[in-house]
A and B are shown apart, each in its own frame.
Chain A
Amino acid sequence: GQNIDQPTEMTATEGAIVQINCTYQTSGFNGLFWYQQHAGEAPTFLSYNVLDGLEEKGRFSSFLSRSKGYSYLLLKELQMKDSASYLCAAKDSNYQLIWGAGTKLIIKP
């Protein structure tokens, strides 16, 4: 079957760095997405990886290893506004998005 695993919850300190991991098993693979979702709001697109390696976008970076079925989202210089759920989603061979359950990130002062 198809499956996405990511930690349920993580806690980090303002100004620090946090890495949110995601492992996936899909029928075929056409890329991996990270979304941010603040409580009570819709998910917003953060990043996309289809090739191995690191994609950097400001304070956020996303990494992909296709051979390991693994990705991570790296958040630097954490701010209180980064408190949110982070959703990992893999696109399968039918270009369908398979969603993880999300990681709730709590930022403490």
Chain B
Amino acid sequence: SAVISQKPSRDICQRGTSLTIQCQVDSQVTMMFWYRQQPGQSLTLIATANQGSEATYESGFVIDKFPISRPNLTFSTLTVSNMSPEDSSIYLCSVGLAGDFGEQYFGPGTRLTVT
């Protein structure tokens, strides 16, 4: 398994501003993922961030709105840019381990409220 931390754990932001969320893993991992989860709903993949390559964004998500950095094998950031109330959500990072199952392990999440 992997231990994953995220900062901040929660934030309340003004419309039009940006917030950068950090994800730190206690071991080197190739595959990192960023998800969004609206209250009471399932996970929506925003992008896959593999070290050494550009992030791959899912349909409906663009780099200008959600720029991602992946400077090394233990760290990644997701920025939510020019925020609107619709961006209020929980943002989760996860890592995929090359183990028997390839399961993903999740960070504790960042609860974002945009006013």
Contacts and interface: CB of A to CB of B under 8 A. Distances in A.
Nearest to A43: B106
A14 B36 CA distance: 32
Interface string B94-115: 0000001111111111000000
A24 to B, nearest CB: 13
A75 to B, nearest CB: 19
Interface residues of chain B: helix, strand, loop or mixed (majority):
loop
B42 A42 contact: no
Interface size bracket, B side: 10 to 19
Contact of B103 (A41, A48, A99, A100): A48
Nearest to A30: B102
Interface in A21-56: 31, 33, 41-45, 48
A1 B101 CA distance: 24
Interface of A: 31, 33, 41-45, 48, 87, 91, 95-97, 99-102
